[in-house]
Amino acid sequence: MKPWIIAGEAVSPDGTRLELVEHDGEYIIKADGLPLMSTRMHHSEIELARLVCRKLKPGARVMIGGLGLGYTLRAAIELLPKQGTAVQVELVPEVIEWNRGPLAPFADHPLKDNRTELVQDDISQVIKRSKNEFDAIMLDVDNGPSPLVEERNSWLYTDHGLQSIRTALKNGGKVAIWSADDEPKFVSKMTRNGFRAEKHRVQAHNGKGGIRHIIFTGRKT
């Protein structure tokens, strides 16, 4: 059996140890030793974009929090209308480097696409300084509202965080939030904070059966 090879290492600003490992052509990003993303399983990351980026108007501006392996970014770019822009925000500089290096071909080089605007920052900070700016915001920075990989991300799922996301969206704009598990009260929390909210169960792998993830969507009311 071929060994797993460490292709990159990083420490996030909050001290989470990230590792890029490769085995027989598959790459995995691990966070503190646990798999966060794999090139073999990314269907729900694509659905995250599909649920909120259909029927965008020309010149639409969308934002993605969390680059990972670039699949959500690629899916969003493919759905952009004319003169559309996808703003990709990523916290960890090494993740950006890996996406310019060995990970680049997996999502067909999304960082090289001229419709991509890359911002190296904390998505919460970008949301806090944005007002009526985005037609869609996609968040895949953590395992969902709880439990968290990065403690800093907890703010995003609070009432204040959800209200700031709403402020960053244009009227009628949509948010999609990825979650590994169901959070029974999260739809009502989104509703309380000014969204027409829904919960979607999506397959981790394309095909029938297997692991499912949750995507919460909300339209700014």
Ligand X SMILES: C[S@@+](CC[C@H](N)C(=O)[O-])C[C@H]1O[C@@H](n2cnc3c(N)ncnc32)[C@H](O)[C@@H]1O
Residue choice 68, 84, 144, 161 for contact with ligand X (CB under 6 A): 68
Which CB, 54 or 57, lies closer to ligand X? 54
Q: Is residue 98 involved in binding ligand X (CB under 6 A)?
A: no
Q: How far apart are CA 178 and CA 175, in angstroms?
A: 10
Q: How many residues does the chain have?
A: 221
Q: Is residue 72 involved in binding ligand X (CB under 6 A)?
A: yes
In the complex, the smallest distance separating the C-beta of residue 63 from ligand X, rounded to whole angstroms, is: 11
Residue choice 27, 28, 30, 45 for contact with ligand X (CB under 6 A): 45
Q: Which stretch binds ligand X (CB under 6 A): 69-77, 128-136, 165-173, 201-209?
A: 69-77
Is residue 193 a contact partner of residue 163, using CB atoms and an 8 Å limit? yes
Distance from the Cα of residue 197 to its chain's centroid: 18
Residue choice 19, 47, 122, 135 for contact with ligand X (CB under 6 A): 122
x-or-dash pattern for ligand X, window 3-42, by CB under 6 A? Answer: ---------------------------------xx----x
Which CB, 71 or 186, lies closer to ligand X? 71
Q: What DSSP line would sit under 59-73, residue for residue? A: T-EEEEE--TTSHHH
Q: Is residue 152 involved in binding ligand X (CB under 6 A)?
A: yes
Task: Note the residues at the interface with ligand X (CB under 6 A).
Answer: 36-37, 42, 45, 65-72, 89-92, 95, 122-124, 140-141, 150, 152-153
